[in-house]
Amino acid sequence: MSEKNPEPRVDHEVKAARILVIDDEEVIHISLSRLLGRQGHQVDAVLTAREGLEKLDTGGYDMVITDLMMPEINGLELLEKLKERGLDLPVLMITGYPTIKTAMQAMRLGAVDYLAKPFRRQELLGPVNRLLRRGVQEASSDEPAEKTASGVGPQVGDRYVLHDHSWAEFQQDGTAMVGIEHSFLEHTGTVTEIVLPHEAELIEQGYVGIHLKTAAREEHGVFMPLSGQVVAVNAEVAKNPGALDSETWLLQVIPSHLTAEMAYLMRQS
């Protein structure tokens, strides 16, 4: 795959934001209020999704952080209700019970990132800052991937994306090259370190497979577009993070569950 010149990215200061935390554990309220408050953000916290929806109806929020497992209305149902109300805010989903199914469901319903409890300060601030820089989620122009009754898979050269995270481009030999979406890189700031899996290591769709560290000391985890075994890594870019752009391949993967996983990807036009 040919590589373009790196796209210039500028580290932007994250402006103070108004963030709504929806979680049925008060200890999470205290922890997030302390961590985010130190960054200058105003944090409002409620115990139920119903209270959260009432708060959101008043407007004025820049971002939502919500738990997955909550009584009455869970995090996935909350995402559906946000879409019904036309509330297009960046949403970070957190949960103590991460599964691939719920991660992919959350992203399909509009969550921009997904974080497993317990998490470190850097693991929280990275996606929070990226989502705040990004602002209101832009509508995707990608076309949904379609599965045919005959089971025909993607064609050579086709690129499919896990929106706002990563892409996979399919090769003649049955492998896929994996890179990072422009919408993800655009708001990370200057990348100073790229941590890649090793050759022969397994990656899973919807889980973090690539870690980025930035000049602002943030950590960003990139969700993988498909599951499979890594057969090659781009060591040259890992040595030179400044060369990273949205056309750079980072991993070459042999897909393992392609038929089932195509439903969660979008074809890039």
Give the domain CATH number at 107: 3.40.50.2300
89-103, 169-183, 193-207, 225-239: which has the minimum mean pLDDT? Answer: 89-103
Residue 50 lies in a domain: yes
Q: How far, rounded to the nearest angstrom, does the alpha carbon of residue 176 sit from its chain's CA centroid?
A: 20
For residues 208-223, give the mean pLDDT: 93
pLDDT at 98: 65
Instruction: Tell me, yes or no, whether 69 lies in a domain.
Output: yes
List of long-range contacts for 98-105, beta carbons under 8 Å, 24+ apart: 100/204, 100/205, 100/206, 100/207, 102/68, 102/76, 103/206, 103/207, 103/223, 104/205, 104/206, 104/264, 105/76
Residue range(s) defining the domain that contains residue 219: 143-267
Same domain, yes or no: 127 and 151: no
Inside any domain, residue 7: no
For residues 263 and 187, state if they share a domain. Answer: yes
Strands, DSSP E only, in the chain? 18-22, 42-46, 63-67, 91-95, 113-116, 143-144, 159-162, 166-170, 176-180, 191-195, 202-203, 208-214, 219-223, 228-233, 249-255, 266-267
Residue 13 in any domain: the answer is no
Looking at the structure, tell me whether residues 171 and 108 fall in a common domain.
no
CATH number for position 161: 2.40.50.100
**Closest alpha carbon to 78 in 49, 44, 109, 110:** 49
Residue 125 lies in a domain: yes
Q: How many domains does the chain have?
A: 2
The pairing of beta strand 91-95 with beta strand 202-203: unpaired
- State the Cα–Cα distance between residues 37 and 53, nearest whole angstrom: 22
Dump pLDDT digits (tens) for 230-253. 999 999 999 999 999 999 999 999
- 120 vs 138 pLDDT, higher one: 120
- Kindly give the interhelix angle for 26-37 and 121-134, rounded to the nearest 10 degrees: 70
Give tens-digit pLDDT for 21-42. Answer: 999 999 999 999 999 999 999 9
What is the SS3 assignment for 85?
helix
Say if 149 falls within a structural domain.
yes
> Edge-to-edge, what's the strand order for the sheet holding 18-22?
42-46, 18-22, 63-67, 91-95, 113-116
- Flag whether 3 is in a domain: no
The pLDDT, as a whole number, for residue 140 is 39
